[in-house]
Amino acid sequence: PYRFAGSLEELRAGAKTVGYPCVVKPIMSSSGHGQSVVRSADTIDAAWVEAQEGRRAHDEGDVSRVIVEALAPLDYELTVLTVSSSAGIVTCAPIGQRQESGDYRESWQPASFTQDVLAQAQRIACTAVEGLVAKAKASGEKGWGVFGVELFVLTDGSVLFNEVSPRPHDTGMVTMASQRLSEFALHARAILGLPLTQEHVALSIPDGAVAASHAIVIQGDGEAEFRNVATALSQPGTDLRIFAKPEVHGHRRMAVALAIGTDEADARAKAENVAESLEIDIA
């Protein structure tokens, strides 16, 4: 259950209809900014303020619409990278993820899922992207590229649409290790008009193997210098991508560790070891 609200009064009424606990979030946000879990009517006003201050959609003026929805019994999250190209729409193998404070910290591919969850996830992802592509075509655009569709798998096995990013997705960085064509290569090919089929998005790792990524988030103020890279990458099946972000002010994702393992636990442990073995100085 959910309602849209364009004012505090509408939010109060929507929350009463949806019931408590509920989630209040801006119609456009990133990494959990502006979102609140509201457990009673006493804090609904504060959630409205949080949504307005944390929103990304500032083109709506002084006030942005928000969404209030029932708190879902979440089991785990999936990302389904969905590619729209001149050949149509295809989906990558679902990606599992771990978040902290609404921001990505780890991802792995392929995630563990049942065939029923896979079918629901693929159907929802394709439906969402088909709708966006239709909107794009109606405006004279192609609608080609990679879309990061995020999904909630509930405790009863049902799947809910969460959000979509019309671009390569942070959790999809794992594809730099898991697929012959990463999400970035897929995006480039798609927007250049090259056809992409299910074969192009197939996994390139051995059967039964899993790839993982581990975000490297740095806190400080100044330029970041990475040391001890050779030791961090001494374990076979590991890799590292340091972003072209020389400075950090506060906290910032500055790199990502990648690994291929015999299973999810092995791959995640290898990627975490790369991240923890690095020595990072802020000057």
Q: Report yes or no: 256 and 184 within 8 Å, Cβ to Cβ.
A: no
Task: Give bridge partners of residue 165 from the DSSP assignment.
Answer: 148
Average pLDDT across the chain, whole number:
93
The superfamily in CATH containing domain 74-282 is: ATP-grasp fold, B domain (3.30.470.20)
Tell me the pLDDT tens digit for each residue of 13-69.
Answer: 999 999 999 999 998 876 678 889 999 999 999 999 999 887 765 555 677 889 999
- Predicted confidence (pLDDT) at residue 246 exceeds the cutoff of 60: yes
Q: Report yes or no: 70 and 1 within 8 Å, Cβ to Cβ.
A: yes
Ranges of CATH 3.30.1490.20 domains, the chain:
2-70
Active site residue 227: no
Q: Which of 50, 77, 170, 264 is catalytic?
A: 170
What is residue 87's predicted lDDT score, i.e. its pLDDT? 98
Ranges of CATH 3.30.470.20 domains, the chain:
74-282
- What percent of the chain is predicted at pLDDT more than 70? 96
Question: Using 50, 70 and 90 to split pLDDT, how confident is the model at 261?
Answer: very high
Tell me the pLDDT tens digit for each residue of 173-194.
Answer: 999 999 999 999 999 999 999 9
Residue type at position 68: V
Main-chain phi, psi angles of 100, to 5 degrees: -130, 125
What is residue 63's predicted lDDT score, i.e. its pLDDT? 79
- Predicted confidence (pLDDT) at residue 166 exceeds the cutoff of 80: yes
Question: Using 50, 70 and 90 to split pLDDT, how confident is the model at 205?
Answer: very high
Distance between CA atoms of 99 and 105, rounded to whole angstroms?
5
Active site residue 60: no
Q: Report helix angle 44-54 to 8-18, nearest 10.
A: 120
Q: Which of 3, 10, 12, 30 is catalytic?
A: 30
Active site residue 171: yes
Tell me the pLDDT tens digit for each residue of 67-108.
Answer: 999 999 999 999 999 999 999 999 999 999 998 877 899 999
- Predicted confidence (pLDDT) at residue 12 exceeds the cutoff of 70: yes
Active site residue 253: yes
What is residue 54's predicted lDDT score, i.e. its pLDDT? 77
Considering the segment(s) 2-70 as one domain, its CATH architecture is 2-Layer Sandwich (3.30)
Q: Which of 32, 56, 98, 266 is catalytic?
A: 32
Q: Which of 150, 175, 268, 277 is catalytic?
A: 150
Distance between CA atoms of 121 and 180, rounded to whole angstroms?
23
Active site residue 30: yes
Average pLDDT over residues 222-244: 95
What is residue 59's predicted lDDT score, i.e. its pLDDT? 54
Long-range contact pairs involving 126-133 (C-beta distance under 8 Å, separation at least 24): 126/82, 126/89, 126/91, 128/82, 128/161, 128/164, 129/82, 129/84, 129/89, 129/164, 130/89, 132/164, 132/166, 133/84, 133/89
Distance between CA atoms of 64 and 66, rounded to whole angstroms?
6
Active site residue 55: no
Active site residue 180: no
Tell me the pLDDT tens digit for each residue of 107-117.
Answer: 999 999 999 99
The gap from C-alpha 37 to its chain's centroid, in whole angstroms, comes to 20
**Where is pLDDT greater, at 137 or 219?**
137
